[in-house]
A and B are shown apart, each in its own frame.
Chain A
Amino acid sequence: MKNLFEFRAVEFAEKVHTSIWYESAFKHNPYLTDQLYCHGEAIIDLMSSHSFDEYLFFLLTSKFPTQNQKKIFNALLIGISNVGLRHPANRAVIIAAASKTYSQNLLPIGLSILGGSYLGADEVLSSMKWISKNKHRNPKDLIFENQSSLIQANDLEKSQEHVFPGFGRQFDGVAPWPKRLSKKLISIGEEIPHLLFCEQLVFFLEEQDNSGWLITGLAAATLLDLGFHWKSGAILFQLLATPGLAASSLEMSEKDYTSLPFIAEENYILTTSK
């Protein structure tokens, strides 16, 4: 039995298929692009007909945004362009840039760290999935069913574990910044059932668990209100956060390694020593 190894009967595509991009070939050389089209529209025309936020929404969804979507998308692009100056992803690019990592590696480093399930892209995906599944439930019931998670969250070391993906405590408290962002988004958007559901959830979470919005939950609810599928959450969060990581990378690339703190010997405490 062990010597039976054979190719699986799978048919592979002859070509890669895409419904987004079309590159028309240059008549003198089939390898060279003459014109580039995005969802049927010429990039050359889009360059003068639309703003970048309209184009980005179109690129990602194949539809230009409605006025309401444009307002929300634009606000989100600005609101979470910096996912947090002290977020591990931003700290990673600061350290890499000041320690002279080649600049072309800085964004991949930041985005890799931003991929995590704690305040990162993986959490946004999980949060979008969770919100999609639970948005018709009564938030009070959801909290009641998760009482054990809430009790566990009272343990200080474990308090960083999120009660629901996208919602929890930071440094043992309710994070005010994502709450402010949520209020702003709710004030400018219409047709925002996911944001409103989460707002209700957070009302009870604050009351019962001293926890609330996280930046990931905020991104998740807003992306759902913009019509994105939960599976797109990780990629979109990384995309939205890229400008802030780029700015920190650029700023810190100009500095040298002494512009970072370095922990002194007496403050590096070995808990297992020979």
Chain B
Amino acid sequence: MKNNTEYFDKRRKKIFAKKGGWKVGKGVTSHNYSLFDDLIGKVSYYQMLILQVTGTLPDTKLATWFDAVAISLSYPDVRIWTNTIGALGGTARTSSAAGITAGILAADSKMYGVGSLNSIIPFITKLKQSNEKLGFSSLVKISEEIKTKSKIFPIAAPGFVKPLIKGDERVPALLKLSTDLDFSVKSHLGAALEFEKIIFEKYGEQLNLGGYIVAFMLDYQFTANHILAIMALIVSGGVHASYIEYLESPPESLLPLRCDDMEYTGPPIKIKPEHLDPP
């Protein structure tokens, strides 16, 4: 069968750019904003980032909120998994870019970080739609449907449990900030907070930061793709800290492991007498 390759032929050796680009000698544009004339010195890093992703330059209020989210995800505690990986990069003398991005990549996880938003976005959307159409009782019904037999998590509710602790101390801090910034609670966050009341009473679980971020961003018209793109690097602060701490410490200094610190559970070891000879 003859294939129609017209779409691809049109794009060979040509780029049709919607976002912007660089015209040498004339300047750089991002969504019709001049990088040099309109953005440098006039907007914050997060305003620029959101412009690049969404095509809309947000006001400083929203940029302040994003700054606060990034700060709230920057615990410089090496025990946090992403940070441990950054620290391991430091001990292994990995380059800053490789060590830190390896830590950030670990946050592409089903359990935490930007990866977890893939399941939080549809769940928060479901809560909002259910609350709007069927009211509070439908949220109660969902709270029953999500019970698990897991010994760790009583419910499977993306955006509402945290692996290490019950509750999330960052959420009240950000809720207070958003009130101070005059952001109103709209339908997604409203449904999430209603749902939190139910599951806190039943299971002692609360809204987590991922759930809060998603609910807020959906309320302010960010699409799923835009949420995932903007949040891709959000954990970086703690990883930077952990990387540099261990780059500046001796190799092997992070929780040194002896051979017997790894527990072998496999088939019997076939030791031959010659294995015991001196090397």
Chain B, 179-225, CB within 8 A of any chain A CB: 200, 204, 206
Find chain A residues with CB under 8 A from B163 CB.
Answer: 8, 10
Q: What is the distance, in angstroms, from A207's C-beta to the closest C-beta of chain B? A: 10
The digit string for B139-152, where 1 denotes a CB below 8 A from any CB of A, is 00000000000001
Bound together, the chains give a CA A10 to CA B151 distance in angstroms of 8
On whether the beta carbons of A171 and B268 are closer than 8 Å, the reply is no
Given A37-B269, A269-B17: A105 and B29 within 8 A (CB)?
Answer: no
Cα distance A32–B204 when bound, in Å?
46
**How many angstroms from the CA of A105 to the CA of B261 in the assembled complex?**
30
Determine, out of A192-200, A220-228, A247-255, A259-267, the stretch whose residues face the partner at the interface.
A259-267
Complex Cα spacing A19 to B268, Å: 10
Q: A267 CA to B23 CA in the complex, in Å?
A: 11
| Contact in complex: B17, A171 (CB < 8 Å) | no
Q: How far is the CA of A210 from the CA of B271 in the complex (A)?
A: 57
Count A interface residues, CB 8 Å: 58
Q: Which B-chain residue is minimally distant from A23 (CB atoms)?
A: B259
B68-76, B119-127, B166-174: which lies at the A interface? B166-174
The interface residues of chain B lying within 8 Å CB-to-CB of A112 are 105
Quick check: A271 and B18 within 8 Å, CB to CB? yes
Is A141 located at the chain interface by the 8 A CB criterion?
Answer: no
A188 contacts partner chain B, Cβ-Cβ < 8 Å: no
Is A270 in contact with B21, judged by CB distance below 8 angstroms? yes
Interchain CB contact under 8 A, A4 and B258: no
Do B200 and A1 have beta carbons less than 8 Å apart? yes
Cβ contacts under 8 Å, A33 to chain B: 259
Chain B 100-144 per-residue mask, 1 if CB under 8 angstroms from chain A, else 0: 001001000000000000000000000000000000000000000
Total A-B contacts with CB atoms under 8 angstroms apart: 161
Q: Could you say which interface size class chain B belongs to?
A: 35 or more
How near does chain A come to B38, taking the closest CB pair, in angstroms? 9
Instruction: Name the contact of A37 in the complex, choosing from B6, B164, B270 (C-beta under 8 A).
Output: B270
A35 and B275 contact, Cβ closer than 8 Å, known pairs A16-B263, A104-B98: yes
A4 neighbours in B (Cβ, 8 Å): 166-167, 204, 206
Contact check, A269 vs B265: say whether CB atoms are below 8 A apart.
no
**A residues near B102, Cβ cutoff 8 Å:** 108
CA distance A174 to B2 in the complex (A): 10
B interface with A by C-beta (< 8 Å): 1, 3-8, 13-21, 23-24, 29, 31-32, 34, 95, 97-98, 102, 105, 152, 162-169, 171-172, 200, 204, 206, 256-272, 275, 279
Hey, which bits of chain A sit against chain B, CB under 8 A?
Answer: 1-8, 10, 15-26, 30-35, 37, 39-42, 44-45, 62, 102, 104-105, 108, 112, 156-157, 171-174, 210, 261, 263, 265, 267-274
Query: Can you list 16 residue pairs at the A/B interface with Cβ under 8 Å?
Result: A2-B172, A4-B206, A5-B165, A8-B165, A16-B261, A24-B271, A39-B266, A40-B266, A44-B275, A45-B272, A62-B266, A112-B105, A157-B7, A171-B8, A265-B23, A272-B32
